[in-house]
Structure 1
Amino acid sequence: MAKKSNAEFVKWFGPVLDALRDLGDSGRPREVYSRIAKNLAIPDEVLDETLKSGASRFQNQVAWARQYLVWEGLVDSSKRGTWTLTEQGRATHLTEIEARQIFLKWVAIHAEARKGQQVQEVVDPLQEDEDAAPGQVATDEAVDLLSTLRSLSPSGFEKVCRELLRESGFEKVEVTGGTADGGIDGHGVLEINPFVSFKVLFQCKRYAKGNLVSRAQVGDFRNAMIGRAEKGIIITTSGFSAAAVQEANREGAPQVELVDSEKLVEMFERVELGLKKRTVFDVDLAYFEKYR
């Protein structure tokens, strides 16, 4: 989209509701993204397009659509985890015209809130270069953490990934590295229960924003792990191309778990590794709107 002033993300309002209905009225963000892509047969070049921040433009737009649906009371307001249709949302089917009316309504509400200084700041989604996104796609903490991780040395990033895996329940985690590692940066053991455990190999890719891990790289990693471990993980500070995701989940081949920048931030936050927790309260304009 040449200019976000055209609010292209409005076109996803209806597809978000449809995708959630298809998923049984609720779903994880990644499930919603995948369902929309499947329902609308979105080409890989669209799914692989990124913002300046390195985040997926498609996912960013869908997250903005979800945010407006939250304000409108069609999707539950939970900021993390599962996206869930409200009772009103389950019965709502939106045309693009109706979606644009919702968009314009909330643009006006936020403009009035800024004018009356009822909120300190409202992120303006009308700016094309706006890398911030609502909900899970981008937060201030996510941006700062990713910038820090991308500033590490390659070996430093491998070591911090080792600590992340340890904090996440892996045992005997070691970084091997080296130029002759066959694409393997380290290994560990994940114990499911006292009777079952898996050896896991991992690869760390400290990529700059927008530099996606390719299908060939996923295939090369899988080839390197065959016969050496039951499971493989690729961790990156960027993302994966649509073809890479397909390759990682290809039937008949060992599955490779993919950890992109968004999931990586979630993992750091879950175990609070290298992070200091803080609480921030934002005004919920949707709540107060019914009292106007």
Structure 2
Amino acid sequence: MAIPTYDNLFNPVIEALKKLGGSGSVSEIEEKVAVLLKLTDEEVNEIHRGNRSKLSYRLAWSRNYLKRYGILENSSRGVWALTPLGTKTGKVDKDEVNKAVKLLDQALVKGKKDGKKVIDDEEPGLWQEEMLEQLLKLSPAAFERLCQRILRESGFVQVEVTGRSGDGGIDGRGIIKIAGLLSFYIIFQCKRYTGSVSAQQIRDFRGAMVGRADKGLVITTGTFTRDARQEATRDGAPHIDLIEGEELVEKMKELQLGLKIKMEESVEVDKDWFKAF
């Protein structure tokens, strides 16, 4: 089937979040929507432009509209959740959502003409796409060093980039300490490309893990196929954590790496405060 338009994804997004317990990451929502719609790997990975899939692009717009409609909210850590209204909502009418958002846009334009400060939701995915383009311009060695920096900023210690070929795909290693008491040895692999990481590549990486580490981590600017995700969490096999392109740039935003984040000051007079005098 063809990937649904952004407004035909409104209800699948809501249903996906409900099945996820009311909240989920971008990748969790995308995976659950793909399952609900019975999309094939080829359909899920169909490219919209650059390094972004058509499904990912349209889901970003869908989440944006549902947020502005009051159904969804999102945190700075990239987690999307149903609002109290969203939790009570069964299904939404796409025409009503589009109409409500259109009215918000009209108010936004009017507010700008009147010189009022109005919060504007920028087109979803613009800075993410630009960031991914910059990552793809890095050499493989530079991307490995960037991943090393990200892991260090995230609390890993003794992070080393091996950079050796013929080492089972291992690009580096490090240690993560939990509560200052428990240490886990991690090996990681960095894949700087636009394609999707396959299940076979995950199996090969796991084979290289044996006897070397407690955990494995694969970081890519691309995506992972559905089979790759299932392989990473297969029962009876060492678990491998996966970070795809969208999650990677969100993590960089959280760590304020490679981004200039502008914060606008908002000042409002507290009229009730003066009643005490």
User: Shorter-normalised TM-score: what interval?
Assistant: 0.7 to 0.9
Shift of 1:40: 3.3
- Aligned residues of 2:65 and 2:97 also touching (Cα < 8 A): yes
Q: Does 1:250 align with 2:234?
A: yes
Per the alignment, do residues 52 and 106 of structure 1 end up closer, same or farther by CA in structure 2, a change over 3 Å counting?
same
Aligned twin of 1:90: 87
Alignment counterpart, residue 214 of structure 1, candidates 181, 187, 198: 198
- Aligned residues of 1:114 and 1:121 also touching (Cα < 8 A): no
Q: Deviations over 1:162-208 (max 9, x none)?
A: 1221121111111111222221111111122444211111111111x
Per the alignment, do residues 23 and 152 of structure 1 end up closer, same or farther by CA in structure 2, a change over 3 Å counting?
closer
Aligned twin of 1:237: 221
- Aligned residues of 1:222 and 1:232 also touching (Cα < 8 A): yes
Give the structure with the larger strand fraction: 2
In 2, Cα distance between equivalents of 1:170 and 1:80: 19
**Equivalences for 1:143-154 in 2 at 5 Å?**
143-154=129-140
Per the alignment, do residues 11 and 191 of structure 1 end up closer, same or farther by CA in structure 2, a change over 3 Å counting?
same
Q: Please provide the CA RMSD for this pair.
A: 3.0
**Equivalences for 1:35-184 in 2 at 5 Å?**
35-76=32-73, 81-94=78-91, 98-107=93-102, 110=105, 113-114=108-109, 118=113, 133=124, 138-140=125-127, 142-184=128-170
Per the alignment, do residues 90 and 275 of structure 1 end up closer, same or farther by CA in structure 2, a change over 3 Å counting?
closer
In 2, Cα distance between equivalents of 1:111 and 1:235: 41
Q: Does the residue aligned with 1:51 lie in a helix, a strand or coil?
A: strand
Letter in 1 for 2:238: P
Per the alignment, do residues 147 and 229 of structure 1 end up closer, same or farther by CA in structure 2, a change over 3 Å counting?
same
- Aligned residues of 2:77 and 2:250 also touching (Cα < 8 A): no
Aligned twin of 1:285: none
Q: Does 1:271 align with 2:255?
A: yes
- Aligned residues of 1:114 and 1:122 also touching (Cα < 8 A): no
Per the alignment, do residues 49 and 188 of structure 1 end up closer, same or farther by CA in structure 2, a change over 3 Å counting?
same
Per the alignment, do residues 192 and 183 of structure 1 end up closer, same or farther by CA in structure 2, a change over 3 Å counting?
same
Q: Deviations over 1:224-250 (max 9, x none)?
A: 111211111111112212221121111
Shift of 1:113: 5.0
- Aligned residues of 2:175 and 2:186 also touching (Cα < 8 A): yes
Per the alignment, do residues 163 and 251 of structure 1 end up closer, same or farther by CA in structure 2, a change over 3 Å counting?
same
Q: Does the residue aligned with 1:265 lie in a helix, a strand or coil?
A: helix
- Aligned residues of 1:110 and 1:122 also touching (Cα < 8 A): no
- The structure showing larger relative contact order (alpha-carbon pairs under 8 Å, at least 6 residues apart) is 1
Q: Does the residue aligned with 1:228 lie in a helix, a strand or coil?
A: coil
Matched residues, percent identical? Answer: 40
Aligned twin of 1:200: 186
The aligned length equals 262
- Aligned residues of 2:76 and 2:254 also touching (Cα < 8 A): no
In 2, Cα distance between equivalents of 1:121 and 1:215: 40
Where does the alignment leave 5 or more consecutive residues of structure 2 unmatched? 266-277
Shift of 1:77: 6.1
**Moved segments of 4+, more than 6 Å:** 119-123
Letter in 2 for 1:221: F
Aligned twin of 2:270: none
Q: Does the residue aligned with 2:212 lie in a helix, a strand or coil?
A: coil
Is the deviation greater in 241-250 or in 56-65?
56-65
Per the alignment, do residues 272 and 184 of structure 1 end up closer, same or farther by CA in structure 2, a change over 3 Å counting?
same
Q: Does 1:259 align with 2:259?
A: no
Letter in 1 for 2:155: G
Aligned twin of 2:272: none
If the length of structure 2 is used for normalisation, what is the TM-score?
Answer: 0.81
Letter in 2 for 1:263: E
Q: Does 1:189 align with 2:186?
A: no
Q: Does the residue aligned with 1:70 lie in a helix, a strand or coil?
A: helix
Per the alignment, do residues 190 and 154 of structure 1 end up closer, same or farther by CA in structure 2, a change over 3 Å counting?
same
If the length of structure 1 is used for normalisation, what is the TM-score?
Answer: 0.77
Q: Does the residue aligned with 2:91 lie in a helix, a strand or coil?
A: coil
- Aligned residues of 2:69 and 2:100 also touching (Cα < 8 A): no
In 1, Cα distance between equivalents of 2:259 and 2:99: 37
Letter in 2 for 1:212: S
